[in-house]
A = this chain, B = another copy of it.
Amino acid sequence: MTTEQTESRPVPTLEAVAARAGVSRATVSRVVNGSPKVTAEVVAAVTRAIADLNYVPNRAARSLASRRTQVIALVVPESTAKVFADPFFASIVQGVALSLADTEYTLNMVISSETNPDKTRRYLMGGNVDGALVVSHHSGDHSYQQLGASLPIVFGGRPVSDAAADSYFVDVDNIAGSAGAAAHLIERGRRNLALITGPQDMPAGLDRYTGWKRTLDEHGIDATLVEYGDFSPRSGMEAMRRLLARGRPIDGLFAGNDQMAAGAYSVIHEAGLSIPGDIAVVGFDDDTFGLTATPPMTTVHQPSIGLGEAMARVLVRRLAGEPVERVTLLPTELVVRQSS
């Protein structure tokens, strides 16, 4: 029943370093924290002592005394965690983690259960973290919005409502991205264009529809061949079936993400149609679904790792007191492969 005792080499304290270096604890603290007003000699002595003793500062003590935790929370709604398989999300985590690895901050992954959101809220508000990163996947759920008043928060994905205009967020420029996809299909000579878009209560779904619609309108092309999915491959299959069932000619398809496009692929193939011969297909995300599809998918690349990196960067700068823009929009890029 006893907790494992595994301490081999006792962890030295700042006091031990001070003794060894022949200075006070205050001085060691200054050296550790890179204070400028310490003699070079003393710095050297302390540094040596630290190395000799293999000293590592105790975070808890440091945090307690300085009232800073050096911890950044990455909040992931449980529902998002459940679809963690989405490469887009995994990349964000990766970007955040890599970006934070270069800082003094530690990354705390928090799964906020939908059934008990207060647990997370309390944790965040309990002075346990210096700031938080909130990702809600393709949704713009800013239910943690209110916390923004008492804790620096940076959101991944723009908020659904504009009421949240005072929040900080990083997002991909979805409108420009889908507009580019539409323009590409048009350039390819396709005129009977169909769209499988995501839920219209999610910014990503909404914005990608907007960019598409806008571009088709500009070219005087009909934009009513639209079906909705939920970003999953299965929903893409179903949407494609509905699209074909309408009986109208289709020679170009844009899907709100690669997963849905991949789903559409199988239905198109089942129907005996070819890609891009009969239907040119463009996806969005540039994830592994598009890359491994047959034929390789033309898609709108979004910097998902960059998104995570940007979120972390923005938060760290906020925490450093530097001025930061509230909105950071990352550019997309059309990756032309063989499906269009």
Contacts and interface: CB of A to CB of B under 8 A. Distances in A.
Interface of A: 1-4, 6-9, 11, 54, 56-61, 63-64, 68-69, 74, 76, 78, 81-82, 84-85, 87, 89-91, 93-94, 97-98, 100-101, 106-111, 113, 122-123, 125-128, 149-152, 233, 259, 262-263, 265-266, 269, 287-289, 291-294, 318-322
B126 A59 contact: yes
A168 to B, nearest CB: 11
Given A56-B123, A126-B58, A265 B294 contact: yes
Nearest to A236: B292
A292 B233 contact: yes
Contacts of A63: 60
A149 B8 contact: yes
Contacts of A60: 59-61, 63-64, 69, 128
Nearest to A55: B126
Given A128-B59, A289-B292, A321-B2, A93 B93 contact: yes
A251 to B, nearest CB: 21
A23 B127 CA distance: 24
Contact of A87 (B64, B87, B122): B87
B126 A97 contact: no
A322 B292 CA distance: 45
B152 A6 contact: yes
A117 to B, nearest CB: 12
A126 B81 contact: no
Given A122-B56, A263-B292, A98 B81 contact: yes
22 contacts: A3-B320, A3-B321, A4-B318, A4-B321, A9-B150, A11-B126, A56-B127, A56-B128, A57-B126, A59-B60, A59-B69, A60-B60, A60-B69, A60-B128, A61-B64, A64-B64, A78-B98, A84-B93, A85-B287, A87-B90, A98-B111, A233-B291
Nearest to A266: B294
B11 A125 contact: yes
A56 B269 CA distance: 57
B319 A4 contact: yes
A319 B84 contact: no
Q: Which 9 A-B pairs have the closest CB atoms?
A: A56-B126, A84-B94, A60-B63, A90-B90, A60-B64, A101-B111, A107-B109, A8-B150, A60-B60
Contacts of A90: 84-85, 87, 89-90, 93
Given A292-B262, A292-B263, A127 B76 contact: no
B81 A127 contact: no
Q: Name, among A64, A93, A287, A292, the residue most crowded by chain B CB atoms within 10 Å (CB to CB).
A: A292
